[in-house]
Structure 1
């Protein structure tokens, strides 16, 4: 069965006064129906830029490559054609729900607007569908709360409203960009369980963008690790956590706190800083921060290669924990 979403050789370049910034460089991945792809990496690695490119939301950027949703190429569509797909076939949950919701309209009105735009439904019908959507995402007293404003909701409840807004038109693809940022762990777990439940009920394809590997381990089926705008490793979630092949992935895992560490054990940080995307190095972007780097790493850029189910962009990957 062909994937729901297929991205091939995606590149996003922003023109600046100091020169072009290649925020995403030759990225490829698939998302199957009912599957969850977790995209992880530090801030500035290109995760959110990738999601915006899939949705066709970049203005003033040069976007190249192929983005195919259910057999339809999106990069060649006009804005009006994309508007018919956004919210209907593909939807996005943004990082900050408070800035994504309009403060002057009730949450019910904002959810209902999506239904009216895409289905041409009457105001009363759309309003009822908005109430149903709020109930589906676990908001108590949905009819009353549909008449309230975003500032009257807690952070976790606002995130539920954003998910209800994204799902009210029953899209095939959901992109969740840091959906649990700034939420406490209890609310975070509720939001993740909510996404997983809706996915199971509807067969959604989900792209989950996060810097939190704990979130990825909980809900993702496949993991794509990004660094400096490029993919450096991709594998099923169990394989990646059991045997990370790229030193950057290993560094991300090592930086997580462990329950078996003594209480005063400091967190293991990756030394150095992410690379400049204005003047990318000729070799591996991670080489300046990598303890395993050799001359070849600094001179020759690695390509994503290796086993088909676990490719890695590293000249000296450590498959099964043994350096080659």
Structure 2
């Protein structure tokens, strides 16, 4: 059952240098109990997309459609979106240390969200804070609830962020690079926790990351973004075994390999991400694309290629070179 449906989402920021088109016509869906992975390098539009879904942009022009459980959020009254945010849809931010308020205890911050959305008493809200801290694996939750963010380790702070997101039992969670600053052991623990909670509670989950290893571990569907636009969309297995866009292939080729020879250099995508103020014409990836370099086509530079179906399983790619199979 579809929980979130995003259609033709676009986000623009007006700056002194010009208009920054940070997101350009992105479409995707999230079903209950399923995980959508959004992957791409820094500046690809991943976080801007998630903030637009949550209604957290200020001073930006947001257009398109965001349907949450059938209700349109784009253009909806700010109070309507505010009541959904935290209650039915929640976000886990990338840097827990800056997302959590340094002057309030962890328990107070979780309890505040519960009181805001449920009107519960301080005692009930505090008990809920202790409960969710225990649910996410914080030891001695009754004592740790009275501590401040700086008293928690990086992994524990991220668990506290997850507890805050879960405190009001939302139906959708957006996790914006929740494991970036964590070592691999803690990262695995956090990912296992998110998957366990998703399965137990039937949550819809959006996992935003630049780490394809994370995507392989948790995602059911994958959306690859580049230059503010979606360039590939498919099931997780299809993206890893049959990538249909040169950018996706470049990301996969850049992963370290266990079978690499001694002294073999890591593969890197040449060049730099495009400027969102003055993007290149046509496909934003063509200046860095090895396929275009080997076989230049006017179609790559005339207009931005649409995201089109290239395989019967619904696999979509925004590349003029992607072979369409029947």
Alignment TM-score, normalising by the size of structure 1: 0.97
Alignment of 1:230-245 (within 5 A): 230-245=229-244
Deviation at 1:4, TM superposition (A): 0.3
Deviations 1:293-319 (A, max 9, x none): 123212232111123610100000157
Aligned to 2:112: 113
Matched, 1:104 2:106: no
Q: Which secondary structure does the structure 2 equivalent of 1:270 belong to?
A: coil
Q: Which secondary structure does the structure 2 equivalent of 1:195 belong to?
A: helix
Aligned to 1:138: 137
Distance 1:135 1:63 in 2: 38
Distance 1:76 1:289 in 2: 37
Aligned to 1:204: 203
Aligned to 1:300: 303
Aligned to 1:75: 74
Matched, 1:174 2:173: yes
Structure 2 spans left out of the alignment, 5+ residues: none
Matched, 1:312 2:311: no
Structure 1 spans left out of the alignment, 5+ residues: none
RMSD over aligned CA atoms reads 1.1
Matched, 1:48 2:51: no
Deviations 1:108-161 (A, max 9, x none): 111011100000000000000000000000011100100111000000000000
Alignment TM-score, normalising by the size of structure 2: 0.96
What is the total number of aligned residue pairs between the two structures? 319
Alignment of 1:1-324 (within 5 A): 1=1, 3-293=2-292, 294-296=296-298, 297-306=300-309, 307=311, 309-317=314-322
Distance 2:262 2:132 in 1: 44
Q: Which secondary structure does the structure 1 equivalent of 2:28 belong to?
A: strand
Q: Which secondary structure does the structure 2 equivalent of 1:15 belong to?
A: strand
Deviations 1:66-92 (A, max 9, x none): 000001101122221111111001000
Runs of 4+ in 1 over 4 A off after TM superposition: none
